[in-house]
Amino acid sequence: MALMDYMTTKKDELVGWIRKFSLFPYPFVTACCGMEFMAVSSTLYDTDRFGAALPRFTPRQADLLMVVGTISHKEAPILKKVYDQMCEPKWVMAFGACATSGGFYRNYGVLQGIDRVIPVDIYVPGCPPRPETVIDAIMMLQDRIAGDHHPILPAEQRGREPSHANKVFPIFPAADRVPPSQT
């Protein structure tokens, strides 16, 4: 049994190594952070070095959803739809202050952070974040993917919950889940 655990651990390491260096981002670009996303993808700060250069503009083929820019309430259904259309395994990066928490917009139009509608793996602060911050975030995400459990064998699939089920943090206290004006 210890041998099985050892093999599973080694398999997880191998799959983690493969997955972390072949990220296919889906750049859900809306606002100013998009300019920094374009800068990060370009030659001076290259995401190609991390294997995360080729954007896939269809959620079916992407595994990293980079939510770049402000998400308004009008855009939230589209974001949810795109997230739901992605296949497992998938990770979400909240790029910028507006995606993380609504930024400095606190009004009727802006969703106060995308983690109110989809689970987020890594938050990148900044308005807009410097490209080095984004690369740091990608590297942190890669560390997490490398250390994660990757149940790819059929024996592991039975009775398994979807991977985002265990991404329940942060859970908002009940008082905070509904906008204050609607309580």
Partner 1 sequence: MDVSSPIPSHLDRTADAGNVVVNIGPSHPATHGTIQIVAELDGETVKRADVHCGYLHRGFEKEAEHHTYHKVIPYVDRLNYCSALNNGFAYAEAVEKLLGIEITRRCIVLRTLLCEYNRIADHMTCVAASIMEMGAMTAFLYLMTVRDYIFEHLNHLTGARLTYSYVRIGGLARDLPEGWLTRLEEILVFAEEYLERIHGLLDRNRIFIDRTRDVAVMTPEHALNWGFTGPTLRSTGLAIDLRKDAPYLAYPELDFEVPVGIKGDNYDRYYVRMCEIDESIAMVRQCVRLLSDGPVSVDDPRVTLPAKELVYTQIEALVHHFKLVSEGIVVPPGEIYVSHEAPNGELGFYLVSDGTSRPYKLHVRAPSFVHMGGMHTLLEGYQVADVVPTFGSMNMVGGECDR
Partner 2 sequence: MTGRAPLSYEAIERELGGLVERSWQSFGMPVLELRAENLLPLVTRLRDRFDFALFLDVTAVDYPERSPRFDVVYHFYSRRHNQRIRLKVRVPAERPVVPTLAGHYGSARYMEREVHDMYGIEFAGNEDLRPILLYEGFVGHPLRKDYPIEREQPMVPYRTG
Widest CA span of the chain, in angstroms? 57
* C-beta pairs of 36-42 under 8 Å, 24+ apart in sequence: 36/96, 36/126, 36/128, 36/129, 36/130, 36/131, 36/134, 37/66, 37/68, 37/95, 37/134, 39/131, 40/131, 40/134, 40/135
Residue 118 interacts with partner 1 (CB under 8 A): yes or no: no
**In this chain, which of 9, 17, 49, 77 binds partner 1, going by CB under 8 A?**
77
Query: 73 — phi, psi (to 5°)?
Result: -65, -25
Rounded to whole angstroms, how far apart are CA atoms 163 and 173? 23
Select the span of 5-13, 26-34, 137-145, 151-159 touching partner 1 (CB under 8 A).
26-34
Give the span between the Cα atoms of 24 and 6, in whole angstroms: 29
Q: Which residue has the tokens 């296949």?
A: 87
Minimum Å distance from CB 177 to partner 2? 5
Q: Which does 115 bind (CB under 5 to 8 A by kind): partner 2, partner 1, none?
A: partner 2
Q: Which is nearer to partner 1, 53 or 146 (CB)?
A: 53
Residues forming the site for partner 2 (CB under 8 A): 73-74, 76-77, 79-80, 106-109, 111-112, 115-119, 168, 171-172, 177-182
Q: How far apart are CA 148 and CA 168, in angstroms?
A: 16
Nearer to partner 2, 43 or 107 (CB): 107
Length, in residues, of the chain:
183
> Rounded to the nearest whole angstrom, what is the least distance from the CB of residue 181 to partner 2 in the complex?
4
Q: Which 85-104 positions form the footprint of partner 1 (CB under 8 A)?
A: 104
Total number of residues that touch partner 1 (CB under 8 A): 38
Bridge partners of 94, per DSSP, are 67, 123
State the nearest-atom distance from the C-beta of 76 to partner 2, in Å: 4
* Footprint on this chain of partner 1 (rule: CB under 8 A): 27-32, 34-36, 38-39, 42-44, 55, 57, 68-70, 72, 74-75, 77-82, 84, 104-105, 107-110, 127-128, 130
